[in-house]
C-alpha cells in the first residue's frame, strides 16, 4: 500500500536558464506527480511535488541529478502535508 506525500525541494547551483523547470515538469508528468517548479529570485529553483511516495522519491532523485546542462550543488528538502494537488505547472 502506498501513500501520498508532499515534498518541497529547493535546488541550488546552475539551475536557471537550462530548462530545469520544464524538464522537471516532463519527468513529474511521466511519474504521475503533481506540483510546481518555479524560479526564485535568488537563482534557485523550487519544486513542490505531491504524489505516491515512490514517485516523489524518483522525482527528488531527478532534481538532485539535474537535467541536461544543469549543475545542482545542493537540494534542500522539506516534507509537508499533502494538499491534493493536480497536474504539474511551471512558474
| Distance, CA of 31 to CA of 56 (rounded, Å) | 8
| Distance, CA of 58 to CA of 27 (rounded, Å) | 9
| Distance, CA of 79 to CA of 91 (rounded, Å) | 21
Q: Which residues participate in catalysis according to the annotation?
A: 21, 39
Q: Is 62 exposed, middle or buried (0-12, 13-18, 19+ CB in 10 A)?
A: buried
Amino acid at each position: 500500500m502506498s501513500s501520498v506525500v508532499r515534498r518541497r525541494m529547493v535546488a541550488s547551483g546552475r539551475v536557471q536558464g537550462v530548462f530545469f523547470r520544464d524538464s522537471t515538469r516532463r519527468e513529474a508528468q511521466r511519474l504521475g506527480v503533481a506540483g510546481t517548479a518555479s524560479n526564485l529570485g535568488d537563482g534557485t529553483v523550487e519544486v513542490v511535488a505531491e504524489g505516491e511516495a515512490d514517485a516523489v522519491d524518483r522525482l527528488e532523485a531527478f532534481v538532485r541529478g539535474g537535467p541536461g546542462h544543469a549543475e545542482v550543488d545542493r537540494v534542500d528538502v522539506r516534507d509537508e502535508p499533502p494538499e491534493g494537488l493536480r497536474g504539474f505547472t511551471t512558474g
